[in-house]
Structure 1
Amino acid sequence: MAYQFTKDLETGNSVIDSEHRQLIAAVNSLLDACSKGQGRTQPSSTANFLLNYTEKHFADEEAIQSKNHYPDYLRHKKIHDDFKKTAAGLVKKTEAEGPTVANVGQINTLLAGWLLNHIKGEDKKLAAYLKSIA
């Protein structure tokens, strides 16, 4: 199942929205590779891109929060840090075990599901704050 960047995921911040689109594309690429049984070959580069890009995106988002004195910065950063640990563990597990049904299910839930919920919740709060101070 491919994920789409829909209107309800837009934050109104062009940098954040552009990076969210790329993160969703990377998750789709990883899920596609796993569905083709390529869990130990091609997904490794895709997974590493996803982890590296997540790191970049979170750093960019946190810089925006810090620059604009976002009052919920520390909690939001902790959420990002926890996700990075979970994602890294899941990618490592999938690389070691291959694209098992359980691993692909976890990628769907823990990576894609988390990302979409985070955008709709936490990142929308950030966007509202940024609009309120503009």
Structure 2
Amino acid sequence: MAYQFTKDLETGNRVIDAEHRQLIDTVNSLLDACTKGQGRTQLLDTAHFLLHYTEKHFSDEEAIQVKNRYPDYTRHKKIHDDFKKSAADLVRKIENEGPTVANVGQINTLLAGWLLKHIKVEDKKLADYLKSIA
């Protein structure tokens, strides 16, 4: 099942939405590889993408929050920091164990589950705040 960048994922911020689209494309690429029996082959590349993506994307988001004096910045940044730690732990596990079917499931849950929920809840709060001060 491929993910779509739907209205409920839009924040209205061009940079944030473009980065979210890139995330969904990566999730879909991993899912496509899994349906072809190639998920483990693509896993490490996807895991490294996740690390780089979260560093850049979270940094971009946090800069927007600081610039606009987002009142929930500290809590939102902590959520980002906790996620980055979880992602780094999973990447180390994949690097140490090699790609396994279980690790494919874990990274898919991390990418598709956690991040998409984060976009729909936390990033929407940020988007609503930005619209309210515009």
TM superposition score category, shorter chain reference:
0.7 to 0.9
- Normalising by structure 1, report the TM-score: 0.87
Shift of residue 34 of structure 1? 4.5
Task: Quote the Cα distance in structure 1 between the aligned partners of 2:92 and 2:27.
Answer: 15
Name the residue aligned to 1:17.
17
Unpaired runs of at least 5, structure 1: none
- Cα deviation, 1:30-86, whole Å, max 9, x if unaligned, reads 3433552452x4332232122102210000000000000000001100100111111
How many residues are treated as equivalent by the alignment?
132
- Normalising by structure 2, report the TM-score: 0.87
1:30–1:43: 8 Å Cα contact kept in structure 2? yes
SS in 2 for 1:24: helix
SS in 2 for 1:11: coil
Q: Does 1:42 align with 2:45?
A: no
Name the residue aligned to 1:99.
100
Name the residue aligned to 2:124.
124
Task: Quote the Cα distance in structure 1 between the aligned partners of 2:82 and 2:45.
Answer: 22
SS in 2 for 1:61: helix
Q: Identity across aligned pairs (percent)? A: 77
Name the residue aligned to 1:69.
69
Task: Quote the Cα distance in structure 1 between the aligned partners of 2:33 and 2:100.
Answer: 9
What is the RMSD computed on CA atoms of the aligned residues?
Answer: 1.8
Name the residue aligned to 2:81.
81
Task: Quote the Cα distance in structure 1 between the aligned partners of 2:34 and 2:82.
Answer: 24
Task: Quote the Cα distance in structure 1 between the aligned partners of 2:127 and 2:32.
Answer: 31
2:30–2:39: 8 Å Cα contact kept in structure 1? no
- Cα deviation, 1:77-110, whole Å, max 9, x if unaligned, reads 010011111112223323424231x323222322
Shift of residue 4 of structure 1? 1.4
1:34–1:43: 8 Å Cα contact kept in structure 2? no
